[in-house]
Structure 1
Amino acid sequence: MSAVLTFLGAAGTVTGSKTMVEHDRRRTLVDCGLYQGERQWRRLNWEPFRVPASGIEDVVLTHTHLDHCGYLPALVRQGFSGPAWCTRASAALVPIVLRDSAHLLEMEAEYARTSGYSKHDPPLPLYTASDAERAITALTPAAYDTATPLRSGGRLTLVRAGYVLGSSIVLLEQGDTTVLFSGDLGRPHHPLLRPRPAPPAARHVVIEGTYGDRTHPSGDPDHHEMAATIRRTIERGGSVLIPAFAVDRTELVLEALGRLRSDGLIPDVPIHLDSPMALKVLEVYRSAAADGELAEDIEVSLGHLPHWQLALTADESRALNKPRTPSIVVSASGMASGGRVVHHLSSMLPDPRHTVLLTGYQAVGTRGRALAEGAREVKIAGSYVPVRAQVAHDEGFSVHADADELLGWLHELPDEPDTVFVNHAEARAAEALAGRIRDELSAAVVVPRLGERVRIT
């Protein structure tokens, strides 16, 4: 019996990942992501789910980033009551992400109410802390490389993806049909994680294409340009603000800063970590090290950085808006779209002494993308802020597979698939990757539209 794929998110964009697999009228949802970035996508978060949430029997989460797990509380609110399968590490990280997301959504709704800029009365959050707690109870760990029976009647196997801690490639077996989801695919070698293995065979593959139209720069793996940027900023009396995702990116940034300071390549100035969420994530990484999930003990990786300072309270965070002396501030979120980093940007962007150092992919419609493209002003909390600070971009932190590495991963499959679906990419990147796959494989290659349904056998 055939199955049907429905692309409910991340089609034409890199956020909101959701793909439905239906077999014998039973439904499994792979990823349950929140839309971020441009308003046209964020508005989709508020639309009722395309199928009754109560009719979904299983959710599978490839990893812990908000654009892959952040809609789960909203789905639970609409009636989903089944398990949300993920790895053990993801089951420890997702609660941190969902609680933080619910808190920010509630704060945004309250700010909209008190400032009077919302057209809704009263403005409500997409979901609440209570919804997040209900979603957390649905998390169900599954071991890597082990077939797990699903409520929907199929089988699930999770394989290391090498992207962030706990990330997985998802193999679904539904009757005679096999579908492999890359999730966000990591590079062949990660600075902290165990390497990903070759993928298992499947008749159909859904592959991400975030970097489908580019390759990572081959130079400066040791972040020497970042070091030079930091030195110039400190010399002119400024501070460096580094927006970084709490999951994985903060750990990589701290590790790099530690090495640069140990080697004498950056001055011995205070390094502030202003992300309570990142501190919680760091504890999960330490537990994973004890479980053998990391390539190197994280205490060794971060051991070069004995003097980083924590901004634990709101007052300590506010004090970093206008640093009294030159310093480095690492704060979430990575695309400058929310969290404490937004307040720092509001204060630091107008000052030409400072530098904002971006550390990875910046999605269309995010504040980080606007800064990366040279915006002279950005909108924060309803008002425009001039950009006079230097903006730099170190792409050496990206752990996303690039176009060559995505193709290499497809070539590692034991057998060529019948179909490859290129999803989770902006249109240009998706089409570029699809063209290269057509040139190198005999499979049918499809860039699905949002909401498109495809029958597979």
Structure 2
Amino acid sequence: MRVTFHGAAGEVTGSMHLVEAAGKRVLLDCGMVQGGREAERRNFEPFPFDPATLDAVVLSHAHIDHIGRLPRLAWQGFKGPVFIQQAGAELVPVMLLDAASLAESDAERENRKRRDGEPEAMPLFTRRDVERLLPQLRPLRYDARNTILPGVEIAFRDAGHILGSSIVEVWADGRKLVFSGDLGPPGTPILRDPVAIREADLVLMEATYGDRNHRDRLDTVREFGGILDQAWEARGKVLIPAFAVGRSQELLYWFARHWDEWNMSRWRIFLDSPMAAKVVEIYDRHDALFDDDARKVWASHPSPFRLPNLRITESVEDSMAINRLQDGAIVIAGSGMANGGRILHHFRHNIDRRNTHIVFVGYQSEGTLGRRVVDGAKWVRIHGSDHRVNASVHTVGGLSAHTDQRGLMAWYGAFEGSPPLVLVHGEDRAREALAGEIGERFGADVRLARPGMVVEV
């Protein structure tokens, strides 16, 4: 079995790893690179392999940094099956069609500003490209071992990151590879904890927060409630950049669970995302994947997805109307790293107001607007104009969808015999810290993936 690393190898986005075994070529993930304009231009570069030679793609979950180049892969010649867990398979078209719509809009905006002689801007892929890809999806359920190609078997185990997220086990050539995908923290609301795996000949593990531990979740939730009180007393708005899948649902869960304690009925809550209604429906259809605590909240509190003061805004006009409200509003909008989507519209109208509170609840990649705001930028450029950052900025790391160093160590520690480990999906500082801790505690052979690096097992 041979693994070549082509993405998320020294960075957090763009997950893509090629497995060659049993005479077959299987791609683990096909994610979009996210970050600044320069980083995102890399998505247009040719794949470092011929897509037509791939026999299958296996996806860990439906976030764009793990699936976002799939339509381009198919457009360039890949004709094989795409395997993903059942709930994840329902999220894929929602995510990709939204990304295509944004890409088409961005290209149209760029072309309106294009000068004579400049090349025409093209979207990374179109909605038509997505529609052509969808018949290639092959949904699989959790905890079933499936032969996907002659000599190649896989199984999906719950990773606890978002709905349908998976740890991927691959058997071929008498060897077993385990790919963590993205691992959620133990105790994440709504979802079950990541499954512990006991055996592997090689482990590929994410390291997003490999250099730090999250705050205690109860302390984090207490902090969040305090931020809401501050914003209410300041007669301001709360803006929360959050991905439409995962963080948005968890935020609504906390609003329901602390409905009385946080006096949530006083707010107008907006889930400002064209995807939101569809994603909520998918979550509702797969409540069998929820944990016990979530079932109790659904039974004893206002339904998180149907709060009486919640409005899911789908049209552009409804989204723009939110900015006529000067106070008393909580706005959850994508994208989670503030590098596109409707949150930019809300930033543009509110980031210079001292009574605005911006709350980041997830990882902010280098080069994104979210990272610049978190790092303390005084001025930011949004839609071609500069805006002063007067808003109060909060980073609530305990609500991250990724587990921390402690969780990563515990998950790897469940393997028998400390198998060889390759760290992916993390910046170097995080990976180096985690590699040192794992090497010291378990005596494991730990390597950091680099683009083009090859590992044989």
TM-score clears 0.5: yes
1:219 shift after superposition: 5.9
Q: Map residues 309-348 of structure 1 onto 2, 5 A cutoff.
A: 309-348=311-350
Residue identity matched to 1:248 = G
Q: What CA deviation, in whole Å up to 9, does each residue of 1:72-129 have, x standing for no partner?
A: 1110111111111010000011110001000000000001011227985321101111
Residue identity matched to 2:303 = G
Q: What CA deviation, in whole Å up to 9, does each residue of 1:163-182 have, x standing for no partner?
A: 11101100111111211000
Contact kept in structure 1, 2:3 and 2:19, CA below 8 Å: yes
What's the counterpart of residue 54 of structure 1?
52
1:24 shift after superposition: 4.6
What's the counterpart of residue 442 of structure 2?
441
Cα distance in 2 between the residues matched to 1:117 and 1:371: 31
Assess, with a 3 A threshold, how the Cα gap between structure 1 residues 119 and 356 changes in structure 2: closer, same or farther: farther
What's the counterpart of residue 415 of structure 1?
417
Q: What CA deviation, in whole Å up to 9, does each residue of 1:142-192 have, x standing for no partner?
A: 121111112363111111111111011001111112110000011222210
* Aligned counterpart in structure 2 of residue 223 of structure 1, from 221, 224, 231: 221
Cα distance in 2 between the residues matched to 1:239 and 1:342: 15
What's the counterpart of residue 353 of structure 1?
355
1:266 shift after superposition: 5.2
* Aligned counterpart in structure 2 of residue 76 of structure 1, from 70, 74, 77: 74
Assess, with a 3 A threshold, how the Cα gap between structure 1 residues 327 and 273 changes in structure 2: closer, same or farther: same
Residue identity matched to 1:368 = G
Cα distance in 2 between the residues matched to 1:216 and 1:74: 36
Cα distance in 1 between the residues matched to 2:263 and 2:116: 48
Assess, with a 3 A threshold, how the Cα gap between structure 1 residues 146 and 246 changes in structure 2: closer, same or farther: same
Cα distance in 2 between the residues matched to 1:163 and 1:292: 12
Q: Map residues 3-402 of structure 1 onto 2, 5 A cutoff.
A: 3-116=1-114, 120-151=118-149, 153-218=151-216, 220-221=218-219, 223-265=221-263, 268-289=266-287, 291-295=288-292, 296-297=294-295, 299-300=298-299, 303=303, 305-402=307-404
Cα distance in 1 between the residues matched to 2:38 and 2:270: 35
What's the counterpart of residue 451 of structure 1?
452
Q: Which moved more, 1:67-76 or 1:299-308?
A: 299-308
Cα distance in 2 between the residues matched to 1:19 and 1:45: 15
3-state DSSP of counterpart to 2:248: helix
1:67 shift after superposition: 0.3
3-state DSSP of counterpart to 1:276: coil
Assess, with a 3 A threshold, how the Cα gap between structure 1 residues 118 and 396 changes in structure 2: closer, same or farther: farther
Cα distance in 2 between the residues matched to 1:302 and 1:152: 49
Assess, with a 3 A threshold, how the Cα gap between structure 1 residues 219 and 128 changes in structure 2: closer, same or farther: closer
Cα distance in 2 between the residues matched to 1:49 and 1:120: 25
Cα distance in 1 between the residues matched to 2:382 and 2:97: 23
Contact kept in structure 1, 2:246 and 2:401, CA below 8 Å: no
Residue identity matched to 2:360 = L
Q: Which moved more, 1:12-21 or 1:184-193?
A: 184-193
Residue identity matched to 1:381 = H
Cα distance in 1 between the residues matched to 2:236 and 2:116: 36
Residue identity matched to 2:367 = G
Cα distance in 2 between the residues matched to 1:198 and 1:36: 29
Assess, with a 3 A threshold, how the Cα gap between structure 1 residues 83 and 302 changes in structure 2: closer, same or farther: farther
1:44 shift after superposition: 1.8
Cα distance in 1 between the residues matched to 2:399 and 2:116: 37
Assess, with a 3 A threshold, how the Cα gap between structure 1 residues 326 and 57 changes in structure 2: closer, same or farther: same
Cα distance in 2 between the residues matched to 1:170 and 1:39: 31
Specify every segment of 5 or more residues in structure 1 that has no aligned partner in the other structure, as ranges.
Answer: none
3-state DSSP of counterpart to 2:440: helix
Cα distance in 2 between the residues matched to 1:118 and 1:201: 60
Cα distance in 1 between the residues matched to 2:217 and 2:31: 33
Q: Which moved more, 1:184-193 or 1:102-111?
A: 184-193
1:222 shift after superposition: 5.8
3-state DSSP of counterpart to 1:320: helix
Q: Which moved more, 1:295-304 or 1:150-159?
A: 295-304
> What TM-score, normalized by structure 2, do the two folds share?
0.94
3-state DSSP of counterpart to 1:8: strand
Contact kept in structure 2, 1:58 and 1:152, CA below 8 Å: no
1:40 shift after superposition: 4.3
Residue identity matched to 1:198 = A
Cα distance in 1 between the residues matched to 2:336 and 2:375: 16
1:292 shift after superposition: 4.7
- The percentage of counterpart residues that share the same residue type is 38
> What TM-score, normalized by structure 1, do the two folds share?
0.94
Assess, with a 3 A threshold, how the Cα gap between structure 1 residues 219 and 313 changes in structure 2: closer, same or farther: closer
1:195 shift after superposition: 2.7
Cα distance in 1 between the residues matched to 2:71 and 2:117: 24
Contact kept in structure 2, 1:226 and 1:394, CA below 8 Å: yes
1:38 shift after superposition: 3.4
Q: What CA deviation, in whole Å up to 9, does each residue of 1:263-293 have, x standing for no partner?
A: 245571211111121221111010001x454
Q: Which moved more, 1:446-455 or 1:425-434?
A: 446-455
1:310 shift after superposition: 2.4
3-state DSSP of counterpart to 2:243: coil
Contact kept in structure 1, 2:181 and 2:206, CA below 8 Å: yes
